[in-house]
Amino acid sequence: MQVEPPLDTVFILQKSLSTPSHISSLTFGHAGHLFAGSDDGSLRVYDLSSFKVLKAIRGLGAEVSSVVCVKRPGSELRDAWIAHGHKVSRFQLETPKLIQGLEDALVTIDTGAPEDVLNELSLNSNKSHLAFTMDSGLVGLIDISNNTITRMETKHESVCATVKFVPDRPRELVSGGYDTTLLHFDFAQGKVLSRRQMGGMALSPPFIMSMAMSTTGVLAAGTADGRLWLGFGGERPASGGKGTNKKAKKWEGLEENEALLIKVAEGPIVAMAFSDPRKITISTLMGVITQYLLLYNEVEGSVVLQQVWQKESSGLAKVNALVADDKRIIVGGFSADGRGMLEIWKQEVHVPTPEHEAAIVDNVAAIKIS
């Protein structure tokens, strides 16, 4: 008999926000600002205490597929690097102007042919380079100091959906594509350091649709057939944790013998985020939101994936983006009537009952790593 897992943390729907067009991308500015991109080429900056729009950008001419925020000295409002179509533009939001257009961009960079489309941006730890991915399978870099572009020689064989930098290794990044492959690059060398292909085939191929990287180097990837891949080989021990903080010579996050691939959903996993090094939240395309803890079993030398919370969105017909921190989970997409929608879920801590504490945890998987 299945029983409920021992839950001491739940999330309640704090606010739903409607927009004229589908939400296509999300990121936090500082903790109180949410940047939300839409498929009509617009961006809105929300104050998460009042839920009011502080600033907006319109008329970018193509879907805002990704947004990266960069701190501007002396300002609470972050600058925004925005991917739209095959171009990337940087905007300063700390201006008197409430609504900006493409002509207000500090810089606009053309990354490829007009028929190619950008999918995701990622900023390295040095804040010196932006990585980008494209429908053609291309992975490229923008040097922020001079806005020049370099492209990796090795491409994905299909759409490259997602890219993340390795923490504390500003030259190294990992990309994931619809060719079911993860590629680990050193962009200064311009070469692939390692790769990993998703195995198996279900009703849907294991296209890699989303990724997240923890601050300690754990890599997660979500597939179109509802599987979650977790790579622990490149994990750097957190300060005060077990082991040494000495930097390893190589990042081995794609090592097969330190990875877990498990079916966790019935639909594509389209978005995910780490809210701390051991906590990840994922969403399926149809809006099933799940949070997991990653726990070490030191006796058995294994990692346990423990589901601690799950809820199906009542307002979103399709999910396109998700962000999470230690207080909130925010998902964006569109509702059944075709309007854009944001759902803001707020954490509430509950004291577990003795019955919950004694309950057997369901939906748990483990992998031997020693």
* Average pLDDT, integer, range 98-120: 95
Q: What is the pLDDT of residue 32?
A: 93
- Choose the final residue of a domain: 71, 105, 139: 105
Q: How confident is the model at residue 361 (pLDDT cuts 50, 70, 90)?
A: very low
| Greater pLDDT, 119 or 205 | 119
Residues 96 and 179 in one domain: no
Q: What is the pLDDT of residue 244?
A: 45
Inside any domain, residue 202: yes
CA distances from residue 109 to 115, 116, 142 in whole angstroms, order as listed: 16, 14, 9
CA 231 to chain centre: 15
- Structural domain containing residue 53: 23-105
Query: Taking 60 as the threshold, does the pLDDT of residue 369 lie above it?
Result: no
Query: Taking 60 as the threshold, does the pLDDT of residue 174 lie above it?
Result: yes
Contact between 345 and 319 under an 8 Å Cβ cutoff? The reply is no
pTM greater than 0.75 = yes
| Greater pLDDT, 138 or 360 | 138
Q: What is the pLDDT of residues 338-358, one digit of tens each?
A: 999 999 999 987 655 555 544
Q: How far is 155 from 77, CA to CA, in rounded Å?
A: 35
Contact between 87 and 67 under an 8 Å Cβ cutoff? The reply is no
- Structure letter (DSSP) for residue 254: T
Residues 75 and 129 in one domain: no
Contact between 298 and 313 under an 8 Å Cβ cutoff? The reply is no
- CATH code for the domain of 115: 2.130.10.10
Residues 6+ apart with CB under 8 A from 232: 218, 253, 258, 259, 260, 303, 369
What mean pLDDT value characterizes the chain? Answer: 89
Query: Taking 90 as the threshold, does the pLDDT of residue 111 lie above it?
Result: yes
Inside any domain, residue 3: no
- CATH code for the domain of 67: 2.40.10.480
- Choose the final residue of a domain: 105, 130, 165: 105
**Measuring CA to CA, which residue among 184, 160, 158 is closest to residue 172?**
184
Q: Is the dihedral of CA 241, 246, 252, 255 positive or negative?
A: negative
Residues 114 and 45 in one domain: no
Contact between 130 and 170 under an 8 Å Cβ cutoff? The reply is no
Q: Is 153 exposed, middle or buried (0-12, 13-18, 19+ CB in 10 A)?
A: exposed
Query: Taking 50 as the threshold, does the pLDDT of residue 117 lie above it?
Result: yes
- Choose the final residue of a domain: 53, 80, 105: 105
The pair of structure tokens assigned to 166 is 């390795």
The pair of structure tokens assigned to 18 is 């409607």
Q: What is the pLDDT of residues 209-225, one digit of tens each?
A: 999 999 999 999 999 99
* Average pLDDT, integer, range 283-312: 87
Q: How far is 152 from 150, CA to CA, in rounded Å?
A: 7
Q: What is the pLDDT of residue 358?
A: 47
Residues 190 and 206 in one domain: yes
Residues 314 and 332 in one domain: yes
Contact between 20 and 341 under an 8 Å Cβ cutoff? The reply is no
Residues 233 and 134 in one domain: yes
Contact between 57 and 82 under an 8 Å Cβ cutoff? The reply is yes
Inside any domain, residue 1: no
* Average pLDDT, integer, range 86-113: 96
Residues 86 and 157 in one domain: no
Residues 163 and 36 in one domain: no
Q: What is the pLDDT of residue 144?
A: 96
Amino acid at 140: G
Inside any domain, residue 160: yes
Inside any domain, residue 190: yes
Residues 318 and 197 in one domain: yes
Residues 304 and 213 in one domain: yes
Inside any domain, residue 162: yes
Which H helix or E strand runs over 357? helix 354-358
Inside any domain, residue 99: yes
Q: How far is 43 from 359, CA to CA, in rounded Å?
A: 45
Residues 76 and 110 in one domain: no
Q: What is the pLDDT of residue 307?
A: 94
Residues 97 and 151 in one domain: no
Number of domains within the chain = 2
Q: How confident is the model at residue 241 (pLDDT cuts 50, 70, 90)?
A: very low
Q: What is the pLDDT of residues 134-159, one digit of tens each?
A: 999 999 999 999 999 999 999 999 99
**Measuring CA to CA, which residue among 206, 185, 207 is closest to residue 195?**
185
Q: What is the pLDDT of residues 72-83, one digit of tens each?
A: 999 999 999 999
